[in-house]
Structure 1
């Protein structure tokens, strides 16, 4: 009987511990000669490098690590191994860089930190050595299970880290550091509700623990809960009024709440107070861009990269304005930095996407595509997106959210008519639809709210070894829960609204949960923003998203996701007839007034001329299309994907001819 791969990996580890290096490496070679998952390949190359280093085969070890870092440029222990190799060769400068990179990726690597202390001392870098000692002290104060869980978390082994942390908390129920760590793991798993509950509990248990409260504040900012975030930032500032980090967090909360003037002023006040202002310039630029201060935003982004060499996010933020054109000097700088293997993976990803935009603007489409493809390849390595899981989620919605479910339980939710949900795929024109509707006197535009996704995650359950409870449990949960969930949505989104009777939630991924939405808010309006699959697919592929759109980093995955989306929307049309309005982007471009009137009729709103002049509406817009929707409708980009058509065959193949044929009528624009 063949041993499971886990047993064989443990056998290799034992052989290395027994100094049976040749046997260990032979087993590695045998396993690598057969198909293995990316994770198993990484582990095998790592073990091979360790064995080769121990037996003195330094060149072979470097080659194993090169293969490993090609598979995963964020593998902390690969850099640690490089550090040991360079150190044994007497190259302390290269060793220091490698160990430092290892600790940047995984701050729980005690071995790297301890070696860095020695290397820093040898180089006369007393301040760096002392900082490393302080970090070692913090790690060594952690209980061993928490240190192990921290290490696992930074290694990306989140389920193992969570299990270890929960086991510790069973014996130490109110251990604040353990609760904070579990919250951080939850955040990385995107289980935001669990993380928020844990951190809220930490703040109640240890109100003076600044670290826990700061972590709670950062989570609130990340999930868009700006009213709560403002409260926490002001609490921290009462105790530490000169703390720039707290002031910067307060500025982010204020901008999120729409108090842009005060938020921008706060950012500007902090610029001269921080030693490294690049990130402050970046956030300032985002705030200025959101309110339409385009020239000021550009200056802020330029200041950001001038204060931090090779700052990829600053260059990408310039590209992401959609209207900025890079100078030849900026392009050369980006190319040099993107080619530097010592640059961080995050910087290189941002730079690749920025260079794609730069060469697209030059109409050098092949080179532009090559840069987009490089950025997407690195990003896909990080995300580990599995298209099969999306297909399974769609299958589950179709199986359980039937006509019978809505006949039986569709009347139980909260009756508020306030929400207008705009769903679909990113880059399908949802920001334009929101801007049009938000130009109506009775409608508030908000943002992409996480509330429905958070509720769906709660309903799915936390047992990773079992099938998700949701959506099957929509048949089973108590009747009164539907109205309760609907009311919670109304209450929790109140802080994002003004005084208008209706408001918009334009989280595109909510198309997966239309059944849940209609059960908890049966009177909510739902608009499906639809765009030609090739135009939408390529536009998503060349967009570097903040988070949550991991399917977009592969043309094949993008095509499969689009097909699953169309399949699920067809199901919603069948089981919820007449309750979803589809707005085809190309039809909106052809007959803008007709489509606007159609949307207003669907929402029960009287026509207002201001909706036709939506580009004059002053409001904060945080999506990549912010500058585009401040201009009248134009058809310039409708078929822009045609310039890249020679490189898009994987997208076409994944979509399939039958689906593409349905949209051919829109290719004549």
Structure 2
């Protein structure tokens, strides 16, 4: 006897609740044909397909459900969400704008708008949508505060990000996600003591929260407290063995037989994350690290390829924008050379460490900031902010305006030292502006074999928007070529006005190289600069683990271990720009 629509609907509800998505999709598709005017079945078919990570197949079913019930708000939301997940953001936003005037409560549509912008790294659009959402009186207030705070964080607006996370915690003091976000914000801004105090308090109340334990481990790593970090990671793994953030930290910091025991756990955790998702990519990186550490480079390459392949679809890089920026920066920068100057009275000396990401800039910073007169400031965005107005707004370069923008928002630790290090690698783009606009600046450029740099970048999961190119070996090569064009231009315009150090020399003869850097920076060399691994300065870059190992030469020429995997990079590297390389 044929079942009624009500009986089929009850069966579908049971299947969805039990996680039987394949069976639900099959039954719902059949019911859609049997009862073509019942919008519910089309919606259930699409929902089941979405849960099976078959978004594109789900789209026509969501569209059919909405066609049958055009005023149904849940169906409207479902179709928009599916378009966003399918990366069809333009269609999603067209529907949002169409439905907004019809809603008494626009919270859900504004959330979808903010979500779409967030996935595209359109941080200003995320802020606008979330701010409008906060004007609605609905249940999504904490969600909007979280999204807006994260967007402010991406824009390096520490004050506004902290304000949103604090407001979120006022509404919901036990929101572990918000506590983790605030702690990471504090860590990224070198307020390590405040971050650890926050996490200790949070873990007293929520001792079994995996995210808080992983954040505490990250805090301990930044301070070089590896044993304490591993204790927290082990506890996090007991609570949630599928945590991709925990697994990737373990994989980067453990070695040998201890690491091998986590390989089956990582393989099992992979099944808990949809293919191509951020968590799935993290675990692919973790497996790559594990195989690399066990010297199975072929297997490591396969996992790194999967990880980066997934990320390149989630995080789009546009190389043409970088090429345009190159032309704009050169046009906005006055010709060199320029006069040597001293810092203004009362101002600390700025020491910039620049180069490609993963070229040794963190190690160099740790060597320099081992000197008692030098503060470590990590990677400051001040340079990019100071330069932006002359690049994007087409203002004529004004040295005093550049200086005021750069020095106007320096970290507090700068005030207590005669000098500080800003090791933002990408400041190599603005060398000319720094030399013209910042009195007393000393710039140390770290140069490393681009093939070793490429391997090191390809093995890492970077979260910064400006490092999306690292998910594709061809893009890494294009960026390497562009970097070399920048440096050739600055070397021609400003000969002898910045110091280039070879990474090979830094790790092969640290004493001679550190003395050379100290002399150039106007520092009296100290023996402490020979032991950067003992430096207690906080590290929040991808080198957080390696820099505590001490100076070594193990990575020199390491690209040859994975030469086959790096073939797309080597093919795209411009040999005319890199004539010194031996192949």
Question: Is the TM value for this pair above 0.5?
Answer: yes
Please name the residue that 1:50 is paired with: none
> Residues 385 and 406 of structure 2 are in contact (CA less than 8 Å); yes or no, is this contact kept in structure 1?
no
Q: Distance in 1 between matches of 2:184 and 2:365?
A: 23
Map of 1:220-239 to 2, 5 A cutoff? Answer: 220-226=152-158, 229-238=161-170
Structure 2 CA distance for partners of 1:332 and 1:479, relative to 1, 3 Å: closer
Please name the residue that 1:88 is paired with: 29
Aligned partner (choices 524, 528, 541) of residue 441 of structure 2: 524
- Displacement of 1:621 in angstroms is 0.8
Aligned partner (choices 359, 366, 372) of residue 441 of structure 1: 372
Gap runs ≥5 in structure 2? 1-20, 33-40, 67-71
Aligned partner (choices 348, 351, 356) of residue 425 of structure 1: 356
Worse overlay, 365-374 or 324-333: 324-333
Q: Distance in 1 between matches of 2:511 and 2:400?
A: 36
Structure 2 CA distance for partners of 1:660 and 1:457, relative to 1, 3 Å: closer
- Displacement of 1:652 in angstroms is 2.1
> Residues 365 and 423 of structure 2 are in contact (CA less than 8 Å); yes or no, is this contact kept in structure 1?
yes
1:547-571 deviation per Cα after TM superposition (whole angstroms, max 9, x unaligned): 3322222222222221211111110
- Displacement of 1:572 in angstroms is 1.3
1:209-247 deviation per Cα after TM superposition (whole angstroms, max 9, x unaligned): 655544443334445554554455445545554544444
TM-score by length of structure 1 reads 0.67
> Residues 615 and 631 of structure 1 are in contact (CA less than 8 Å); yes or no, is this contact kept in structure 2?
yes
Across the aligned residues of Structure 1 and Structure 2, the Cα RMSD in angstroms comes to: 4.7
Aligned partner (choices 367, 377, 385) of residue 309 of structure 2: 377
Please name the residue that 1:492 is paired with: 409
**Equivalent residue of 1:310, what SS?**
coil
> Residues 26 and 45 of structure 2 are in contact (CA less than 8 Å); yes or no, is this contact kept in structure 1?
no
Q: Distance in 2 between matches of 1:94 and 1:453?
A: 48
Q: Distance in 1 between matches of 2:144 and 2:371?
A: 42
Aligned partner (choices 335, 348, 353) of residue 280 of structure 2: 348
Please name the residue that 2:500 is paired with: 582
- Displacement of 1:430 in angstroms is 0.6
State yes or no: 1:551 paired with 2:469.
yes
1:531-553 deviation per Cα after TM superposition (whole angstroms, max 9, x unaligned): 11221111111222223322222
- Displacement of 1:307 in angstroms is 2.6
Please name the residue that 1:594 is paired with: 512
Please name the residue that 1:98 is paired with: 49
Map of 1:611-650 to 2, 5 A cutoff? Answer: 611-650=529-568
Q: Distance in 1 between matches of 2:132 and 2:349?
A: 32
Q: Distance in 2 between matches of 1:541 and 1:220?
A: 27
Worse overlay, 484-493 or 618-627: 484-493
State yes or no: 1:288 paired with 2:220.
yes
Structure 2 CA distance for partners of 1:560 and 1:258, relative to 1, 3 Å: closer
> Residues 187 and 540 of structure 2 are in contact (CA less than 8 Å); yes or no, is this contact kept in structure 1?
no
Number of aligned residue pairs: give it: 538
> Residues 348 and 414 of structure 2 are in contact (CA less than 8 Å); yes or no, is this contact kept in structure 1?
no
Map of 1:3-18 to 2, 5 A cutoff? Answer: none
1:66-96 deviation per Cα after TM superposition (whole angstroms, max 9, x unaligned): xxxxxxxxxxxxxx99985563258999976
Aligned partner (choices 406, 409, 421) of residue 504 of structure 1: 421
Structure 2 CA distance for partners of 1:215 and 1:386, relative to 1, 3 Å: closer
Q: Distance in 1 between matches of 2:283 and 2:122?
A: 30
- Displacement of 1:312 in angstroms is 2.2
Please name the residue that 1:312 is paired with: 244
TM-score by length of structure 2 reads 0.76
Q: Distance in 2 between matches of 1:315 and 1:652?
A: 30
1:242-276 deviation per Cα after TM superposition (whole angstroms, max 9, x unaligned): 54444444433443454434533432443475598
> Residues 82 and 95 of structure 1 are in contact (CA less than 8 Å); yes or no, is this contact kept in structure 2?
no
Gap runs ≥5 in structure 1? 1-79, 116-135, 460-469
> Residues 257 and 496 of structure 1 are in contact (CA less than 8 Å); yes or no, is this contact kept in structure 2?
no
